[in-house]
């Protein structure tokens, strides 16, 4: 399991997608524990300075597919890839 980044501040650029606790609005409940506390981890890889978005459950720490956009991350989480 990856460590969660503390850096949620950047998510403030899309306040429409998050509630006041940084949980994704519109994300399906966690497929493993049923929690609705789904967050997005942002990660930048050294070899490739692109920001990737990884949906993750704030309750059980499972995580979803890596996406290059926030919208895609939420979409793929909801599709259960
Ligand atoms: Zn969970």
Query: Could you tell me which residue, 15 or 74, shows the higher pLDDT?
Result: 74
The two tokens of residue 5 are: 């980044």
In the chain, alpha helices (H):
70-79
Q: Give pLDDT, residue 36.
A: 93
17 alpha carbon to ligand 1 midpoint, in Å? 19
77 alpha carbon to ligand 1 midpoint, in Å? 12
Measure the CA–CA gap between 17 and 49, rounded to whole angstroms.
Answer: 24
Condensed to tens digits (0 to 9), the pLDDT of residues 40-80 reads 888 877 777 788 889 999 999 999 889 988 889 999 999 97
Considering the entire predicted model, what is its pTM?
0.74
Using DSSP's 3-state secondary structure scheme, residue 32 falls into: coil
């Amino acid at each position: 399991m990856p460590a969660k980044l503390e850096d949620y501040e950047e998510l403030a650029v899309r306040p429409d997608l998050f509630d006041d606790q940084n949980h994704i609005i519109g994300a399906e409940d966690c497929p493993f524990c049923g929690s609705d506390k789904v967050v997005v981890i942002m990660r930048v890889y050294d070899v490739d300075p692109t920001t990737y978005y990884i949906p993750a459950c704030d309750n059980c720490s499972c995580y979803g597919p890596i996406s290059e956009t926030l919208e895609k991350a939420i979409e793929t989480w909801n599709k259960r890839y």
